[in-house]
Copies of this chain bind each other. A is one copy, B any other.
């Protein structure tokens, strides 16, 4: 009987769900892969979607597999509030919804003013816009949010949403007030996602669509949706003893934990989030310097010289088509688009990630990569001919392959020096790294640890080569910045790395030979070297591009592969044996 009753209730509920307004159906921008992963169908309701999303979101937001190696610092409370936020002890008062603004106008007028400028504080201003206003589309978004809230029982049928105020985000949606010392919260993605279910789903769908055919990257990586996990599961990060230094990495790896990396609190300006600078804080610098590459490209210079004449209130999806919209793309134009649809899944066309690898270079003919290249051609073809678009992408891929080859050639030289124990101080002055980090030739750690001879010129140079310079090379090509891929950065950097390492190879082997000769003269046996034990026969024994100089190379190759296999096991992965240390880095850092 009870079961039957339950069945009826369920039926009634599902009936109810089926009759929510049309706008509350599952949106087209939610990909099938995500629905499948969440065990939902296209007939599910936005409420079910939200419930499943939030549940998964919170369960996967943890300190990660290296949790025992690091402790949060106070600032982490703001970077990963779901995990670490605690309300402040003072003031320990009960506050009413309507009191926040008055009090904080005195205490923190800056954030109050930003909020007052936001749509959150001006819903009726939006509702009153004429259809001719380029912001009029926001009326539809408000209606969508109201539908979401009604489905979740947070807004009455026919009741309009009056405003979005401090307590809604910082205590509970619709909360009338609470205890300042107990009930305050810092919103995470799921709090913003309660109202903005569609955007939450789109952003979270990066976990589901980034499934690499040869497991070049872990599922969902690299993406904003898992960037916090990628950060905390990087051995180098967990091993860093200066936690205030490690915090800098976390600062960017917090798209998983909150939404205001792009939608700066408390104005949450869509105009801001549509401009390239919104991406600049994280996407600049020594490796994935997309911002600089873009700004120096013709795309970027048109933005800089003409952008002030564009109407930035036009919805992103309409910008390129609108007479008052952009005449050049921004980061958002290309990376939020997929087959003509714009969403918060920024990785649906990703083919290389933020680091090229041999395993991608070797598989570009696989249908997965070809389909994504086609999707890119669609994107570029909005403003270029299809032939131009295809030829540019083909050139870019070939270029990246060339850069990847330089890295792989040089990796062999580095690995052989390491295997021969010829790096400076390697035998006597290279202390172990703090756990969970472990030694390897030119690993990611080389950029952050330099006690005694933990990091030599060879290590550092190679770490910069595979982790920074080849990425910058690729980003230069992909963002059409001429100086960025050959001359100012990119190829020229890679060749410099190669030159340094080849020179070190010669010097270190000559030095070893000289040591042996000295020992012989001193009457010591060749087996009793004082700081290295490689004889004259090893001179110029490493692999170089030119076969004339590559004697000894083949023997090394097997060793290199073996070592790579060992590394991949150490990191508890089941990748193919040709996974190298660069690949291992993907697992850790990828975001």
Contact = CB atoms under 8 A, between A and B. Distances in A.
B278 A305 contact: yes
A414 to B, nearest CB: 14
Nearest to A283: B483
Interface stretch (A140-148, A153-161, A501-509): A501-509
Contacts of A486: 245-246, 248-249
Given A272-B306, A385-B108, A488 B244 contact: no
Contacts of A455: 495, 499
A478 to B, nearest CB: 12
A97 B477 CA distance: 35
A22 interface: no
A252 to B, nearest CB: 5
Contact of A248 (B252, B485, B549): B485
Given A78-B388, A383-B108, A282 B482 contact: yes
A487 interface: yes
Q: A interface, by DSSP: helix, strand, loop or mixed?
A: helix
Contact of A491 (B248, B327, B477, B544): B248
B282 A502 contact: no
Contacts of A447: 487, 492, 495-496
Contacts of A487: 248-249, 285-286, 447
Interface string A392-410: 1011101100100000000
24 contacts: A77-B391, A108-B381, A108-B384, A242-B399, A242-B491, A244-B396, A248-B476, A248-B486, A271-B306, A272-B301, A277-B305, A278-B301, A280-B296, A284-B296, A285-B483, A286-B487, A286-B492, A448-B491, A452-B540, A452-B549, A454-B499, A457-B500, A518-B518, A521-B522
B327 A113 contact: yes
Interface in A451-482: 451-457, 459-460, 476-477, 480-482
A401 B271 CA distance: 39
A307 to B, nearest CB: 9
A496 B244 contact: no
A165 interface: no
A553 to B, nearest CB: 12
Identical copies of this chain, number = 3
A71 interface: no
A29 interface: no
A89 to B, nearest CB: 9
Contact of A304 (B277, B396, B398): B277
Contact of A514 (B73, B485, B498, B518): B518
Interface in A219-252: 242, 244-249, 251-252
A48 interface: no
A503 B278 contact: no
Interface residues of A, number: 128
Given A395-B244, A495-B448, A387 B88 contact: yes
A490 interface: yes
Interface in A522-578: 522, 531, 540, 544-546, 548-549
A145 B514 CA distance: 76
Contacts of A269: 305-306
A271 B305 CA distance: 7
A457 B496 CA distance: 9
Contacts of A402: 242, 244-245
Interface stretch (A124-132, A421-429, A579-587): A421-429
Given A391-B75, A396-B244, A500-B457, A301 B284 contact: no
A305 B395 contact: no
A215 interface: no
B296 A281 contact: yes
B514 A244 contact: no
By CB atoms of chain B within 10 A, which of A113, A114, A308 has the most?
A113
A264 interface: yes
B75 A452 contact: no
A275 interface: yes
Contact of A267 (B248, B306, B489, B549): B306
